[in-house]
């Protein structure tokens, strides 16, 4: 498979990759695609699994490669080609977590410039793409860049990471110097991804592993759920507009002392938290100055079409790394949350 690239094109891709991703954000962005693929699975007996491996070099603790694998539906040749294209236009399903076309490539190459994608659907042959931004950057003039061809080694590698032989494997190599040491990276990913995908794991029975460790949904220990009741122990309540129509669900918690995981505003779309760090602390004007406000957290969860929520909350920032509520949502929350907090 050939595609035309130029030196300036490669530099542009590298600039995108260096636009502020940290390891948690990059891996979570790629894992979003795995969650989307697992939601389409019609093989209930196989389980729904995402495996994330952070491998280190034999003579140091530096990361040698990162592997993200899933046993989702896989991709055919056309779908894989589009998925591997920077600025993909294949985002016509607004309910997808990985709805933005720059996700896979930008996130992957922020970890390392060499990426390999292996995928297989039921009753299909294996599909394969591999490329290296460092090789592209050496091109002095426009030329045809040829993707590597899959061989027996890659096929065996695929089977190693996807025992059922249906799904997708993404391998990132030549790790950038700014990435943390392997042991530190694993610890950080375990802590943060258990929070980001807490609701995915709780509600959809999707299993996520970091190395050999299966993640448990991140808890909010040391916190009281202020909206809970005997009939509603989880504390999720309907968030209604002025006409009484339900537009989202919300939950309010109160942390003990300075419990950082119980502070601020958290937006959850289709079970995926848009926050990427458990230490995220920001009130965004939702809280007053009382201590009980400053140690409280408001969680808002929505399902379905992202375009609907963009229209309903036009002034809200929906970026995965730093969502902010906007005045429309603040006003709505103010009316329905204060009774639970200011008591």
How far apart are alpha carbons 203 and 215 in whole angstroms?
14
Average pLDDT, the chain: 77
Please report the sign of the dihedral spanned by the C-alpha atoms of residue 268, residue 52, residue 27, residue 263.
Answer: positive
Percentage of the residues of the chain whose pLDDT score is greater than 70: 69
How large is the average pLDDT for residues 127-142? Answer: 67
Radius of gyration of the chain from its Cα atoms, rounded to whole angstroms: 21
- Tens of pLDDT, residue by residue over 233-243, are 888 888 888 88
Most confident range (mean pLDDT) of 177-191, 247-261, 278-292 is 177-191
Residue 191 pLDDT more than 80? yes
Query: pTM here?
Result: 0.81
- What are residue 49's phi and psi, to 5 degrees? -130, 140
Count CB-CB contacts under 10 A for residue 285.
12
Residue 83 pLDDT more than 80? no
Q: Which of 5-9, 46-50, 110-114, 234-238 has the lowest mean pLDDT?
A: 5-9
Cα–Cα–Cα angle for 23, 119, 217, rounded to 5 degrees: 45
């Amino acid at each position: 498979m050939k595609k035309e690239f130029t030196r300036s094109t490669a530099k542009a891709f590298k600039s995108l990759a260096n636009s502020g991703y940290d390891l948690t954000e990059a891996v979570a962005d790629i894992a979003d695609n795995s969650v989307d693929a697992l939601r389409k699975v019609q093989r209930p007996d196989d389980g729904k699994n995402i495996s994330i491996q952070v491998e280190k070099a034999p003579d140091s603790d530096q990361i040698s490669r990162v592997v993200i694998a899933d046993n989702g539906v896989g991709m055919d040749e056309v779908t894989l080609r589009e998925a591997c294209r920077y600025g993909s236009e294949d985002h016509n399903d607004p309910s997808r977590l990985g709805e933005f076309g720059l996700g896979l490539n930008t996130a992957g190459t922020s970890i390392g410039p060499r990426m390999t994608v292996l995928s297989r659907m039921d009753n299909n042959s294996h599909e394969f793409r591999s490329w290296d931004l460092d090789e592209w950057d050496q091109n002095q003039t426009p030329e045809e860049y040829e993707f590597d061809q899959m061989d027996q080694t890659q096929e065996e590698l695929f089977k190693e990471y996807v025992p059922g032989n249906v799904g997708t494997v993404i391998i990132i190599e030549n790790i950038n110097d700014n990435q943390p040491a392997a042991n530190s990276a694993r610890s950080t990913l375990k802590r943060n991804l258990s929070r980001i995908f807490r609701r995915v794991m709780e509600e959809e029975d999707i299993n996520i592993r970091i190395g050999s460790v299966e993640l448990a949904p991140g808890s909010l220990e040391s916190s009281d759920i202020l909206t809970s009741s005997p009939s509603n122990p989880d504390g999720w309540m309907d968030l209604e507009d002025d006409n009484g129509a339900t537009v989202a669900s919300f939950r309010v918690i109160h942390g003990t002392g300075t419990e950082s995981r119980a502070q601020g505003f958290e937006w959850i779309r289709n079970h995926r938290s848009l926050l990427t760090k458990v230490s995220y602390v920001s009130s965004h004007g939702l809280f007053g100055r009382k201590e009980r406000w400053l140690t409280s957290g408001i969680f808002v969860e929505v399902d379905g079409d992202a375009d609907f929520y963009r229209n309903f909350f036009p002034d809200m920032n929906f970026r995965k790394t730093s969502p902010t509520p906007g005045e429309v949502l603040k006003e709505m929350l103010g009316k329905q949350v204060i009774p639970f907090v200011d008591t």
